[in-house]
A and B are shown apart, each in its own frame.
Chain A
């Protein structure tokens, strides 16, 4: 078993493929997506840059809009799990 003493700086990070999904859906604009899910364009901007973690409610609304499962749109990257499972 491999243990790391130090805490990861960013223990969790949720990334997403919203930008790609927008382009796959008739090049939907950020403004259109924002209106469809009921947030501001700035929030979509922050989401696409992985600067903002959405609430579950918003995450589900975005996933359903693109007719996808939650995990097809959002990806949870656990740093600790990644480093534990990494080959020695």
Chain B
């Protein structure tokens, strides 16, 4: 197989990851950043870097998730948090549940938000979340505990986790 064929095959593989993981990843990034444009940018940059890295990445899906969250968190440190209204974020769709959730999530710190979304929305175990956010499992446990408590206060509901 020549180099061009290898590149095409790799790109198809990354596109498959994008098609399968993309929607959940983009929405996770949206929850983290509160801004659709930043979410799209972080995801596009992660996949672009993955394609450029080529065969050296053994698990493209895991790498893309970690890269996208690292890039999005870099964006958050470089620019102030988005002031976009929830209606703008969800493209004018009138959905009270989504708006309540987005407003409540803004009350969490970025790390609490990232931990909550990766664990409770994306479904990653604490060990993987710690690896993605480059911190310890115990720290993630604390962020999850506090994030859940905060969300419970904001949204109402049981706390049996």
Q: Do A and B come from one complex?
A: no
